[in-house]
Amino acid sequence: MSEAYRRPNRTATGNKTVDYWVIKPDIRIMTLVEKLLKVTAGYKSAAGISKDSRLSRQVFDDGKKIAALRGGGDLTTRRYEAALAWFDANWPQGVEKPDELSECANSTNKEVGRAA
């Protein structure tokens, strides 16, 4: 690993000072909201939907939720899982599903409905 990603830290433990290294990862992990927005963009493209509000109403029964997520909003784990289940169940025929929906396919809780 490059020295640019390593920096020494010191901590005092009793009478001793201990050096340890903090290693910063050189990759960025996508957040769950970012994954959901990626799935949303793929679905809109596949289904020919242009407005977030229309899809947001179908998935969340709230026409502003997707816009709120784009603006930095958040949602509960239950709503996230229900939204993925909705996309999995309603994905257009003949269009390849994104990898993010594989989490949903492996889930034992297949509750499909609106992500309320």
**Distance separating alpha carbons of residues 37 and 33, to the nearest angstrom:** 6
> pLDDT at position 108, please?
41
Alpha helix locations (H) across 18-95? 32-47, 52-60, 65-70, 77-90
pLDDT for the residue 5? 47
Q: Which has more confidence, 69 or 105?
A: 69
Q: Give me the pLDDT at residue 9, please.
A: 56
Summarised one tens digit per residue, pLDDT across range 1-58 is 444 445 555 555 566 666 566 666 667 778 899 999 999 999 999 999 999 999 999 9
The whole-model pTM stands at 0.68
Q: Which two tokens stand for residue 22?
A: 């903090």
